[in-house]
Amino acid sequence: MSPAKTFGTFFLPGPTEVREEIMAAMLQPMIPHRGPQFEKLFERLQQGLRPLFKTERPVYVSSSSATGMMEAAIRAAPPGRILCLVNGAFSERFAHIASTCARDVDRYEVAWGQVHAIPQLEERLAMRKYVAITVVHSETSTGALNNVRAISDCAHRHGVLCLIDSVSGLGGAELRFDEWNLDYVLTGSQKALAIPPGLSFAVASASFVGRANGTSGRGGYFDLVEMDAYARRNQTPSTPALTLFYAMEEQAKSIAAEGLEARWARHTAMAARTQDWLAKISDETGKKLANIAPLGSQSPTVSTIRLPSDLPAETFTAEVGKRGIVVGNGYGKLKSATFRIGHMGDHTVETIERCLAACSSVLRS
Ligand SMILES: *Cc1c(COP(=O)(O)O)cnc(C)c1O
């Protein structure tokens, strides 16, 4: 194995950098997935995953990327119209999935970088009958953090389910499934949880799964009712990506050792440091750089930073790359205008310093 000192060079907002210890855990041998050995593994994983969602509910583990669990949510939702809160590429994807699953969809769209306002949501929910809303917690394309607790409460005041994508939120941004009385939260393995891509996780409330049981057209592979039934037996409906289960088991131990609250605080500190750097480097170079999400609504896990118009992201990130550091281009329609720093997963204020130093060096030259 190469030495662990190589950690701290890769700052994409997904996939995120994976520690050597996690990579090593994946070298464990195959086991039968119908049998006590796997059931024990699944149970240990549950013990590691439930605290991450702050729930007593089972955590469904899907051997798919996170988009699969977005589709599972839509397919499980009772018949009726869905209101999709859109403020970036991933929230747009949620709306797109709802449409392609033949749902009637309305969009409550705000500018990329912005978050959704409760009074406006209240108005929309009062105007028309919906069964569910979709919302993205940490919009990875823009770095905006929605107040999913307030949004969920608002939905509930109108008797509407709230389906939450917390793919780049969970494990880095505060979320409390049980205490906040949430209906559905999904996440992926390759963002703030910092294991390789290929697994997704979701928790559904008992009442959401109960209602899903009566909903037809849930499909086969992404059927929450089936996932729920199998999870109760510590199994998965189809062959699990065992290697990634090993990785998650290892990572859950590290997260428990650090403490989830401490992990949230570490992410908040990384975001604050990035914001502080941004102000200083803008002053120093006279270049107009800005986080596109307003203060107070910035994700602790990802910053999306607008570049001066004469510096396309592709040029900037290539120059940063020459200094041994990977940062992300913008996403979707912001691809060239912004760059993104993923300060999530196992990164720390110390590793972020190296990233910021490389970015500074490019901006000064
Ligand atoms: C990465 C991401 C997704 C999609 O995840 P995949 O694992 O690529 O399917 C969805 N939503 C958000 C907010 C994301 O960051």
Residue linked to tokens 């972020």: 352
Amino acid 2: pLDDT: 45
Q: How far apart are CA 57 and CA 76, in angstroms?
A: 17
Mean pLDDT, consecutive 10-residue segments, the chain of 365 residues?
A: 70 98 98 97 98 98 98 98 98 98 98 98 98 98 98 98 98 98 98 98 97 94 98 97 98 98 98 98 96 97 97 98 98 96 98 98 96
CA 345–ligand 1 middle distance (angstroms): 15
Q: How far apart are CA 283 and CA 262, in angstroms?
A: 32
CA nearest ligand 1 atom 5, residue: 66
Q: How far apart are CA 140 and CA 90, in angstroms?
A: 7
Two tokens at 344? 């999530």
CA 267–ligand 1 middle distance (angstroms): 19
Q: For residue 135, which of 76, 88, 102 has the smallest C-alpha distance?
A: 88
Q: Domain 260-364, CATH 3.90.79.10 — does that match?
A: no
From residue 290, give the alpha-carbon distance in Å to each of 3, 300, 339. 36, 16, 10
Q: How many CA atoms lie within 13 A of 133 on its CB side?
A: 30
Residue among 74, 140, 141 to mutate when testing ligand 1 (max atoms within 8 A of CB):
140
Please give the single-letter amino acid code of residue 23: M
Sequence ranges of the chain with CATH classification 3.90.1150.10: 260-364
Amino acid 1: pLDDT: 41
- Beta strand ranges found along the chain (DSSP E): 10-11, 60-62, 82-86, 105-109, 132-136, 138-139, 144-145, 161-165, 184-188, 200-204, 290-291, 302-306, 326-329, 338-342
Amino acid 3: pLDDT: 44
Q: Which atom of ligand 1 is nearest to the CA of 67?
A: 9
Q: How far apart are CA 148 and CA 169, in angstroms?
A: 11
H/E stretch holding 144: strand 144-145
Q: Which residues pair with 164 in a beta bridge?
A: 135, 185
CA 14–ligand 1 middle distance (angstroms): 8
Q: For residue 271, which of 340, 358, 193, 357 has the smallest C-alpha distance?
A: 340
Assess contact for 120 and 96: CB atoms under 8 A.
no
Q: For residue 167, which of 145, 142, 203, 192 has the smallest C-alpha distance?
A: 192
**Each residue's pLDDT tens digit, 30-40:** 999 999 999 99
**Other beta carbons less than 10 A from residue 268's beta carbon:** 16
**Other beta carbons less than 10 A from residue 145's beta carbon:** 24
From residue 310, give the alpha-carbon distance in Å to each of 315, 323, 347. 10, 21, 30
Sign of CA dihedral 62, 17, 167, 103: negative
**Ligand 1 — pocket residues by CB below 6 A?**
14, 65-67, 90, 136, 140, 165, 167-168, 188, 191
Q: Which atom of ligand 1 is nearest to the CA of 68?
A: 9
Sequence ranges of the chain with CATH classification 3.40.640.10: 20-257
For the chain, the distance separating the N- and C-terminal CA atoms, rounded to the nearest angstrom, is: 36
Amino acid 60: pLDDT: 98
20-257 has which CATH code?
A: 3.40.640.10
Q: What is the distance, to the nearest Å, from the Cα of residue 165 to the centroid of all Cα atoms in its chain? A: 6
**Each residue's pLDDT tens digit, 174-197:** 999 999 999 999 999 999 999 999
Length of the chain: 365
Two tokens at 67? 């988009």
Amino acid 5: pLDDT: 59
Residue among 86, 168, 303 to mutate when testing ligand 1 (max atoms within 8 A of CB):
168
Two tokens at 125? 């929910």
Q: For residue 222, which of 237, 240, 242 has the smallest C-alpha distance?
A: 237
From residue 338, give the alpha-carbon distance in Å to each of 148, 156, 312, 323. 25, 36, 8, 19
Assess contact for 38 and 235: CB atoms under 8 A.
yes
Q: Which atom of ligand 1 is nearest to the CA of 14?
A: 1
Amino acid 6: pLDDT: 77
CA 87–ligand 1 middle distance (angstroms): 14
Q: Which atom of ligand 1 is nearest to the CA of 140?
A: 15
Q: How far apart are CA 28 and CA 242, in angstroms?
A: 9
Q: For residue 252, which of 100, 61, 96, 72 has the smallest C-alpha distance?
A: 61
CA 281–ligand 1 middle distance (angstroms): 30
Rounded to 5 degrees, what are φ and ψ at 82? -115, 135
